Chain A
């Protein structure tokens, strides 16, 4: 018998050691020299799976059912063998999405649904709380045993101990302090609780060593090794039956294997240490075989201890759950017993700490915060600093969970064996498995399906396991368990719908998973998933394909100012962590935060994950949405965007066309501009030429007048000749001025035209008559091809004559001076009448042909000063012909004469052209 004065200080010292380890672990983490960043610590932290249920309860179960205690540890081994497909994927998904808890994981998968996260949290709290109280019970039982052995009757009943002096209460208080200190230091739950993990790993070593120590002592101390122990036990038939699996044991074997396969992932504390606290995915590669090895090691001595216990304490004088402790005590090995007590304490406290942290994170992030944020009356989303509130909620929920567990333990837990309570919790956690496994492999799983599945599973679990346990504890009428509710046999909780022949757990697991999986699948198949669900499903199922790129960044549309986003983060994380996070973000992308005004979708995505780490995905979404103007992209909008994109492509196509058209227009414009510049130059030339042309006749008029004035003695003949020159020059001057005026009028459109349908014949004859003198004077031959009847044309008679006279006099001027010959041809064509005036002069070069119809481009420089030439004749001709709607041009080859041709449109064609022009 150990004195309380020994046990209590040792237990306290042990707890203080835990505090020290956790503190050291946190300190190392802050210094950047992590204590836990290796696969061995990781493995040991996963061993939190082995609670006092393992430490004490396994032996109890083995004493009852022999090797049937093993499936609880074989299941996790199988799950870890399959790590490649399930665990690795869950861890990767959680890292990519900064998942903080199992509720967060499931709700994230199903469209970040607040309802799902809340439901999962409720299931977890209701299901796990008995498990926590189980640990408290184990601590208290083992403590009392240590103090009062072998006088077991003297150990006080729970209710007799005033509660402040109750061991369980003291331990609960210490654990609450520990959990608050090391579990809620930071707000960002995704930043790991390194100190806590270090302490848990240490506890795992302690409980393993303690259990191995007692196992070795029993096997090799009390007996002569395995063979001796088994031989002695085998001699007693009531014990030898434990070597084999008993009737009905196989169905339970399968049930427990499946249950524990699910539990190693779905228990909130296992999810916490395996997934959330994982600092490096590669640690898993070692843990996949080290953790099963740990399980194997801690189980080797379970059956030997159970056998030894049964033999040492025959007739059930000692509770088999306590064999681990009572065997050394009976052998008066007080030191070993104390060590075993510490081992059991390790197993219990480790579980309580991790489970409480996991549950409090869930209660805070997935239940309380989303509700608070949505309450319009609180206006929390406008609150400045929420870090304090967050911490308070998390600490409050830790205290609440532990207090409730303690109350559960005090008033209910007493009536049940350890194993039964544990299995109730396992079955609750297993309800998450369909939603998780379906969620990471099946994109078709929907929020509705998950909700239905979880609700059905939870309800059936509660009905077939949880309520009966309440009834057995006296909280419900026992008739509920014995006859079914209101005596309805069909609704009997242990024989639901007449399903008989199964043990309670198998029965409950069958019905709850039947409802759960069925509801999940049918609900998923018959419900419409939202766009966010579809996106999240793709992110989860295809995580290995997506996680390399910055996926998800397109999910935020709309804009927010960086200042707003920053504010939100500061409110939840505090200023320093927020500054650090954004500085890191900026450094990675070479951004200058001071100049950052608009938060783009990438930054929003980053912020969402940052917030998700602190307050969970569901809350983060709500919170961020409050500052982002514009909301989540919906799938129909994605379609619209796609649509718009194709439109944009079309626009761009059209734009390209437009741009090429524009290019055309531009080059046209440039040509026009060139032409304008040319015209401008021509105008300047025109003015200077006009002045020059006017001066030439004026000069000669003046000089001859002066000669006449100065020399009155000139003879008559000479005087006559001089006066003749003056008259000619005056005529020329008049003609020139008339022509200039004509041209100006025509160009300004102020010319009066007398357009009419007329027979061109008389006009041609009139012109020939007008130039007859000229031909005769120069001795130029004229050949006229003029048919008797010509088709009527639309023209102005006088102007037509003017054109013909001009061309004829030009032809006379430029034809061969020796043997001059001029031809006039008329040729009726389809739409117009062609008139050609040809000569046999030197002809025009290509350049001259081009410029023939420009003003003052006196052709053939040597003849420029011919008295007849003004350089305006041809331009006027062109103006007139073009006004008629015809065309004028010159065909020539140097040395072979020139043919000036023009067309006159027939009246119909002219009117048609006019009509078109009018339009």
Chain B
């Protein structure tokens, strides 16, 4: 089986990607007089990078939710006093 990386690793990678995408050196590349679809390049780049980061995070988080055997306890209000004693899913590392 190909190694997909644990969920924690994936999120860490995304975070680093986000740092780089939104860092001044990369921004300065797009910080020019360029236009795209009639919109300033920097403006469109910022929102595109931001959106892409959100999409990737969504993929990673949702993927982990599905693959981790997690059973959501939708609609069930947990007793706050015993909440942490119940069998909640852990933020454990996903094994591959």
How many Å from the CB of A398 to the closest CB on chain B? 22
Q: Which of the listed residues B28, B70, B84 has the most CB atoms from chain A within 10 Å of its own CB?
A: B84
Contact B90 A285 (CB under 8 A): no
On chain A, the residues within 8 Å of B85 by CB distance are 588
Do the beta carbons of B70 and A81 come within 8 Å of each other?
A: no
Max chain A CB contacts within 10 Å: which of B39, B51, B75, B79? B39
- Name the segment of A149-157, A292-300, A713-721 touching the other chain: A292-300
Instruction: Let me know if A254 and B24 touch, CB within 8 A.
Output: yes
In the assembled complex, which residues on chain B have CB atoms less than 8 Å from the CB atom of A253? 24, 27
In the bound assembly, the distance between CA atoms of A92 and B89 in angstroms comes to 11
Interface string of A181-211 (1 = CB under 8 A from B): 0000000101110000000000000000000
Given A77-B54, A250-B24, A280-B78: A92 and B91 interface contact (C-beta under 8 Å): yes
Complex interface residues of chain A between 634 and 675 (CB less than 8 A to chain B): none
Given that A77-B18, A303-B43 are known contacts, is A293 also in contact with B54, CB under 8 Å in the complex?
A: yes
Q: Which residues of B contact A544 (CB under 8 A)?
A: 90-92
- Residue numbers in B under 8 Å from A300 (CB-CB): 47
Q: Shortest beta-carbon distance, B47 to chain A, in Å?
A: 7
Q: Complex formed: what's the CA distance from A280 to B70 in Å?
A: 13
Known contacts A226-B39, A289-B57, A296-B51: does B78 contact A82 (CB below 8 Å)?
no
| CB-nearest residue of chain B to A550 | B85
Assembled-state Cα–Cα distance A78/B7 (Å) = 16
- Give per-residue flags for B28-59: 1 if the beta carbon is below 8 A from chain A beta carbons, else 0: 10011001011110110011001101110110
Contact indicator B57/A84 (Cβ below 8 Å): no
B77 touches A32 (CB 8 A): yes
Flag if B42 contacts A67 (CB, 8 Å): yes
Best-buried of A228, A231, A243, A292 by chain B (most CB within 10 Å):
A243
Scan residues 233-264 of chain A and give those whose CB is less than 8 A from a CB of chain B: 234, 243-245, 250, 253-254, 257
Please tell me if B3 contacts chain A, counting CB pairs below 8 Å: no
B81 adjacent to A581 (CB under 8 Å): yes
Which of A67, A254, A610 neighbours the largest number of chain B CB atoms within 10 Å of its CB?
Answer: A67
CA distance A83 to B47 in the complex (A): 21
Please tell me which one of the listed residues A286, A296, A581 contacts residue B47 in the complex, with CB atoms under 8 A apart.
A296
Nearest Cβ in chain B — how far from A104, in angstroms?
15
Q: Given A230-B38, A584-B79, A610-B81: A289 and B54 within 8 A (CB)?
A: yes
Q: Of all chain B residues, which has the CB nearest A192?
A: B80
B1 at the interface (CB under 8 A from A): no
Q: A80 and B57: CB pair below 8 A?
A: yes
A32-B77, A289-B57 known; A81-B22 Cβ under 8 A: no
Most buried by A among B31, B54, B75, B85: B54
Tell me, yes or no, whether A781 is within 8 Å of chain B by CB. no
CA distance A778 to B68 in the complex (A): 110
Determine if A78 and B61 form an interchain contact, defined as CB atoms under 8 angstroms apart: no
Select one of B50, B73, B81, B88 contacting A77, CB under 8 A: B50
B62 touches A285 (CB 8 A): yes
Chain B nearest CB from A604 CB (Å) reads 16
Q: Is the CB of B8 within 8 A of A245?
A: no
In the complex, what residues of A have CB within 8 A of residue B84's CB?
Answer: 95-96, 547
- Given the complex, which residues of A lie within 8 Å of B77, measured CB to CB? 29, 32-34, 37, 279
Question: Do the beta carbons of A77 and B47 come within 8 Å of each other?
Answer: no
Give the Cβ gap from B77 to chain A, nearest Cβ, in Å. 4
Q: Closest chain B residue to A581 by CB distance?
A: B81
Q: Which residue on A lies nearest to B9, using beta carbons? A: A84
Tell me if A245 and B58 are in contact (CB < 8 A).
no
Is A288's beta carbon under 8 Å from chain B? yes
Does B15 have its Cβ within 8 Å of any Cβ on chain A? yes
A165 within 8 A of B: no
The digit string for A55-72, where 1 denotes a CB below 8 A from any CB of B, is 000000000000100110
- Given A70-B46, A296-B54, is A285 in contact with B61 using a C-beta cutoff of 8 Å? yes
With A243-B40, A245-B42 as given contacts, are A81 and B72 in contact (CB-CB < 8 Å)?
Answer: no
Q: Is the CB of A81 within 8 A of B11?
A: yes
Q: Which residue of A lies closest to B54 (CB)?
A: A292
For residue A85, CB closer than 8 A to chain B, the reply is: yes
Q: Is A561 an interface residue (CB 8 A)?
A: no
Residue of chain A at shortest CB distance from B8: A84
- Are A67 and B46 in contact, with the CB atoms below 8 A? yes
Assembly CA distance A286 to B65 (angstroms): 9
B6 CB, min distance to chain A CBs, angstroms: 9
Residues from chain B with a CB closer than 8 A to the CB of A81 are 11, 14-15, 18, 53, 57
Which single member of A85, A96, A282, A286 contacts B12 (CB below 8 Å)?
A: A85
Question: B27 near A245 (CB under 8 angstroms)?
Answer: yes
Picked from B40, B64, B81, the residue with its CB within 8 Å of the CB of A285 is: B64
Nearest-neighbor residue (CB-CB) of B17 within chain A: A81
Contacts of B62 in A (CB 8 A): 285
A849 at interface (Cβ–Cβ under 8 A)?
A: no
Alpha-carbon distance between A288 and B53 when the two chains are bound, in angstroms? 11
Residues 147 to 191 of chain A near chain B (Cβ within 8 Å): 188, 190-191
Selected from A37, A191, A234, A547, the residue in CB contact (under 8 A) with B75 is A37
For B19, what are the chain A residues with a Cβ–Cβ distance below 8 Å?
78
Contacts A78-B18, A84-B7; A282 near B40 (Cβ below 8 A): no
Closest B residue to A577 using CB positions? B81
A919 CB to nearest B CB, Å: 68
By beta carbon, the residue of chain B nearest A300 is B47
Docked pose: A900 CA to B48 CA in angstroms: 119
A286-335 interface with B by 8 A CB criterion: 286, 288-289, 292-293, 296, 300, 303
Q: Nearest residue in B to A225 (C-beta to C-beta)? A: B38
A218-235 with Cβ < 8 A to chain B: 226-228, 230-231, 234
Chain B residues near A95: list those with CB within 8 A. 83-84
Q: Of all chain B residues, which has the CB nearest A71?
A: B22
- In angstroms, how far is the closest chain B Cβ from the Cβ of A323? 17
Q: Complex Cα distance A33/B74, Å?
A: 11
Is A126's beta carbon under 8 Å from chain B? no
B91 interface neighbour in A230, A234, A279, A281, Cβ under 8 Å: A281
**In the complex, A83 Cα to B58 Cα: how many Å?**
12
Shortest A56–chain B CB gap in Å is 21
Chain A CB within 8 A of B76 CB = yes
Bound together, the chains give a CA A34 to CA B79 distance in angstroms of 11
How far apart sit A260 and B31, CA to CA, in the bound complex (Å)? 22
Residue from A32, A74, A244, A280 within 8 A of B50 (CB atoms): A74
Tell me which residues across on chain A come within 8 A of B47, comparing CB atoms. 296, 300
Residue of B12, B40, B92 touching A230 (CB-CB under 8 A): B40
Nearest CB on A from B21, distance (A) = 9
A799 part of interface (Cβ distance < 8 Å)? no
Distance A84 CA – B13 CA, assembled complex (angstroms): 12
A867, B74: Cα distance in complex, Å: 109
**Chain B nearest Cβ from A911, distance in angstroms:** 80
Which residues does chain A contribute within 8 Å of B27, judged by CB atoms? Answer: 245, 250, 253
B8 contacts A37, C-beta separation under 8 Å: no
Identify A227's interface contact among B38, B61, B64, CB under 8 A: B38
Cβ of B43 and Cβ of A243 under 8 Å apart?
yes
Query: With a CB–CB cut-off of 8 A, which chain A residues contact B72?
Result: 282
CA distance A223 to B92 in the complex (A): 51
Q: Is A38's CB within 8 Å of the partner chain B?
A: yes
Instruction: For the complex, give the distance between the alpha carbons of A84 and B92 in Å.
Output: 10
CB proximity of A294 to chain B, nearest CB, Å? 10
Residues in chain A near residue B64, CB distance under 8 A: 285
Would B31 and A88 count as touching, CB distance under 8 A?
Answer: no
**Complex: chain A residue closest to B55, CB-CB:** A289
Interface check A878, CB cutoff 8 A: no
A-B contact pairs, 11 of them (CB 8 A): A29-B77, A38-B75, A81-B11, A85-B11, A92-B91, A96-B84, A226-B37, A230-B35, A230-B39, A243-B43, A245-B24
Given pairs A83-B61, A96-B84, A300-B47, 7 additional interface contacts (CB within 8 A): A78-B19, A188-B80, A190-B80, A227-B39, A230-B35, A279-B78, A282-B72
Which 4 A-B pairs have CB atoms at the shortest separation, nearest pair first? A227-B38, A289-B58, A243-B40, A34-B77
Which residues of B pack against A, CB within 8 Å? Answer: 7-8, 11-12, 14-15, 18-19, 22-24, 27-28, 31-32, 35, 37-40, 42-43, 46-47, 50-51, 53-55, 57-58, 61-62, 64-65, 70, 72-85, 88-92
